[in-house]
Amino acid sequence: DIVMTQSPDSLAVSLGERATINCKSSQSVLDSSNSKNYLAWYQQRPGQPPRLLIYWASTRESGVPDRFSGSGSGTDFTLTISSLQAEDVAVYYCQQYYNSRPRYTFGQGTKLEIK
Amino acid sequence: EVQLLESGGDLVQPGGSLRLSCATSGLTFSIYAMSWVRQAPGKGLEWVASIGGGDTYYAESVKGRFTISRDDSKGTSYLQLNSLRTEDTALYFCAKDQVAGNGRYDAFDIWGQGTMVTVSS
């Protein structure tokens, strides 16, 4: 299975500042036939189910604020929150969905707090 | 609005069984793959099983013990949990595949609130 490793495990950022979360996969999740990276980011607020933020590594889901952005390709990916808001306090997970026969795997999660 | 509602979670003894249900509304259920994802207390997300196009797939940790199924006429997905272990204790989420009919399994764009399974003697 593809192993997903996030860094850091936790992060404290001041309101209005930038937050950056990294995700590394043990093998490439880039499909060279269509140039798509099968990598998603989810936000899980306390007591809530996960919410899809980003798919194909950099495409924002409908309704997601534009302060959230995803980047990267192959094995290294980044989720950036450009200006942290109080409602962004949550745990963030990356997930790969590369395999045609699903073997979804998630990163261990990054807990984001306000400094 | 698309909604998923899980039910069936309970306290069960090791070795016992449960059947979880995921009732959906607001979508053409039959064209989407569906999955179950679990989260042990205070832990991260773990994919459990997926079903789509007549095919089923399982995480190694549950293969041979859990069975995923669906009833398209009812818009409902099921997860049968047998031979339960204490390590199966978790909140079980139902999740919908983002894209229909593209021949692959994609990210999960809609999640239910989850149903709690506790395995303890």
User: Which chain A residue lies closest to B104 (C-alpha atoms)?
Assistant: A100
> What's residue B104's pLDDT?
82
Say how many CB pairs under 8 Å bridge A and B: 61
Alpha-carbon gap: A49 to the closest alpha carbon of chain B (Å) = 6
Half-sphere exposure of residue B42, counting CA atoms within 13 Å on the CB side? 0
Question: From the list A44, A52, A101, which residue is nearest B108 (CB)?
Answer: A52
- In chain A, the percentage of residues whose pLDDT exceeds 90 is 95
Could you report the per-residue pLDDT of B10-46, keeping only the tens digit for each?
999 999 999 999 999 999 999 999 999 999 999 999 9
| Residues A92/A112, Cβ–Cβ less than 8 Å | yes
Distance CA B91, CA B113 (A): 9
User: To the nearest whole number, what is the mean pLDDT of chain A?
Assistant: 97
Task: State the sign of the Cα–Cα–Cα–Cα dihedral B73, B90, A7, A75.
Answer: negative
Q: What is the mean pLDDT of residues A38-66?
A: 98
pLDDT band at B107 (very low <50, low <70, confident <90, very high): very high
Q: Which of A41, A97, A103, A104 to mutate to test the interface with B (most CBs of B within 10 A)?
A: A104
Tell me how many helices (H) and strands (E) chain B has: 0, 11
Distance CA A59, CA A25 (A): 18
User: Which chain A residue lies closest to B93 (C-alpha atoms)?
Assistant: A49
Coil, helix or strand for B38? Answer: strand
Q: What is the mean pLDDT of residues A11-35?
A: 97
B54 interfacial to chain A (CB closer than 8 Å): no
Could you report the per-residue pLDDT of B69-97, keeping only the tens digit for each?
999 999 999 999 999 999 999 999 999 99
- Whether A100 shows a pLDDT value over 80: the answer reads no
Find chain B residues with C-beta within 8 A of A109's C-beta.
44-45
- Which among B121, B20, B33 is positioned nearest to B66, based on CA atoms? B20
> What's residue B7's pLDDT?
98
> What's residue B39's pLDDT?
98
pLDDT band at A99 (very low <50, low <70, confident <90, very high): confident
A109 interfacial to chain B (CB closer than 8 Å): yes
| Residues B87/B106, Cβ–Cβ less than 8 Å | no
Q: Any idea which residue has 């919410």 for tokens?
A: A51
pLDDT band at A39 (very low <50, low <70, confident <90, very high): very high
